[in-house]
Amino acid sequence: MNVKYLLALASIMFYMPNLFSQGNNCGDIEPMLQCPSVSCLAETDSTSSPILSVNSNLPNVEYAIVDFSMPSTSGTGPSIVAIDQDGVFTPAQYNLSPGTQFGVLPIAYDLSAIQETLDDILKGSILFIGSCCDLAVAAGTDICGPLNMAGITCGADVANLEQASAAFTVFNGGGGATSSIVDLIDQINQVNVQLSDPAILPVCGGGDKFAFAYGAECVYTVSGSMTVFDVPTDHQMDELVANFAIRSSVTVNAPFIVEYNAADFIELQPLFETVLGATFHAEIVSTCL
């Protein structure tokens, strides 16, 4: 039995489809996002619920989040930092910090096809020969044991791409590498070639094909949170207001009013002081304005 396809299948869900454009591998309709008019988000702001201007004919849609500042280990493009099930999240949820640009793109796929192939692998058997699990062990690869240890004993135990990714990582060397959408395309193509091998019987997944279709990404920028500090009374400050830009160590004397505006952060150093009657005003201005 050819078990190479099982190893390739392991890496499918850890990666995600092609950036900057759209595509599919089975002629399916590509989902298209309607990008919001406001593309700036503070770390704790939530993305709006995604609206698809074009729906795919494939039954399931999830969302790949790509950090443009983080190159993949393969060097084929920016890294996928998460696969979000409904496309509603905050940048902080995925450690996307101020100044970061990230892309969100929709991926349509067929969850039932993944579940059925898992059932073939985990529960399939060949009369008078043995189970697909036993055949994999005989060929030198334990496929079913690690899946069972991850809590996956049948296809129904995988309910989304994130769960499938976590389950199949064990077959991909234990994970740890950062991967791009281009990597996913290559992996899916390799898997489908292996599944088309006539030596693999249908009962063990032979002849299965994983279809996907993905649309172009919407691009967001993570801005600094709006922060305003007013110090109208006698006060000394040595405090980090946010993250990057204006630093000050001055005394603000009455009747002066001093205002600082910065895109990312204002840091008040030792010796910064306002005296009674003076006013200090510091404001973080969104990087997206």
Half-sphere exposure (CA, 13 Å, Cβ side) for 284? 21
Res. 12 pLDDT band, cuts 50 70 90: very low
Res. 183 pLDDT band, cuts 50 70 90: confident
Name the phi and psi angles at 149, rounded to 5. Answer: -65, -30
pLDDT cut 70: percent of the chain above it:
63
Q: How many residues does the chain have?
A: 289
Tell me, what's the pLDDT at 269? 65
Beta strands at 228-231 and 245-248: parallel, antiparallel or unpaired? unpaired
The answer to whether residues 244 and 287 touch, using CB atoms and an 8 Å cutoff, is no
Residues 157-176 have a mean pLDDT of 60
Beta strands at 273-274 and 235-236: parallel, antiparallel or unpaired? antiparallel
Tell me, what's the pLDDT at 267? 64
Q: 238: which 2 tokens? A: 């040595």
d(CA 80, CA 90): 16
d(CA 132, CA 130): 7
Tell me, what's the pLDDT at 146? 81
Dihedral Cα 181, 187, 191, 193, nearest 10 deg: 100
Res. 210 pLDDT band, cuts 50 70 90: confident
Tell me, what's the pLDDT at 143? 76
Tell me, what's the pLDDT at 4? 41
Q: Which residues contact 52 (CB under 8 A, 6 or more apart)?
A: 31, 32, 33, 34, 61, 106
Residues 1-13 have a mean pLDDT of 36
Q: Is residue 41 pLDDT above 90, yes or no?
A: no
Q: Among 5, 3, 12, 4, which Cα is nearest to 166's? A: 12
